[in-house]
Amino acid sequence: MSRLVREGELRARALLETPVDSVDDAGSLVRVWRPVASVWAKIAPRRGAEVFVAGEQESVLTSEVVVRWRSDVASPMRFRVGARALLIRAAFDPDGQRRFLVCICEEFAA
């Protein structure tokens, strides 16, 4: 394996999900998350901050999530790891070899 990920570091089981928007009977937009795949991941927190969203203070944790390369990962998908939801903001192939995919993710907490 490359220096990006060593043997055994992809040890967090993550569920890759994609958003599906629909309209309910009242005409309101409803977003549900549809599972795409279960993947092994390396999750490394990078920074935390306090932000205001809709007038309320929230904590946001930015993490780097590394998975084996896939062609179907993009923003606004997310990874679900237990009760955590990590929203994908960017995804890129770090060395162009299609071995790994690095995803910059944000996780919000009230």
SS (H, E, C) the chain: CCCCCCCCCCCEEEEEEEEEEEECCCCCEEEEEEEEEEEEEEEEEEEEEEEEECCEEEEEEEEEEEEECCCCCCCCCEEEECCEEEEEEEEECCCCCCCEEEEEEEEEEC
Residue 47 domain-assigned? yes
Counting residues of the chain whose pLDDT is more than 90, the rounded percentage is 78
In this model, does residue 7 exceed pLDDT 80?
no
Q: Which two tokens mark 86?
A: 């990590």
In this predicted structure, what is the pLDDT of residue 2? 47
Residue 52 domain-assigned? yes
**Mean of the pLDDT values across residues 81-110?**
94
Distance between CA atoms of residues 9 and 49, nearest Å: 26
Residue 91 domain-assigned? yes
Residue 1 domain-assigned? no
* Domain tally, the chain: 1
Summarize pLDDT for 10-45 with one digit per residue, the tens: 999 999 999 999 998 998 999 999 999 999 999 999
More confident call, 84 vs 57: 84
Counting residues of the chain whose pLDDT is more than 70, the rounded percentage is 96
Residue 64 domain-assigned? yes
In this predicted structure, what is the pLDDT of residue 52? 82
In this model, does residue 3 exceed pLDDT 70?
no
Structural domain boundaries enclosing 20: 12-109
Please, are residues 20 and 30 in contact by the beta-carbon 8 Å criterion?
no
Residue 65 domain-assigned? yes
Residue 38 domain-assigned? yes
CA distances from 41 to 3, 44, 68 (A): 15, 10, 8
Residue 4 domain-assigned? no
Residue 100 identity (one-letter amino acid): F
CATH number for the domain including 82?
2.40.10.270
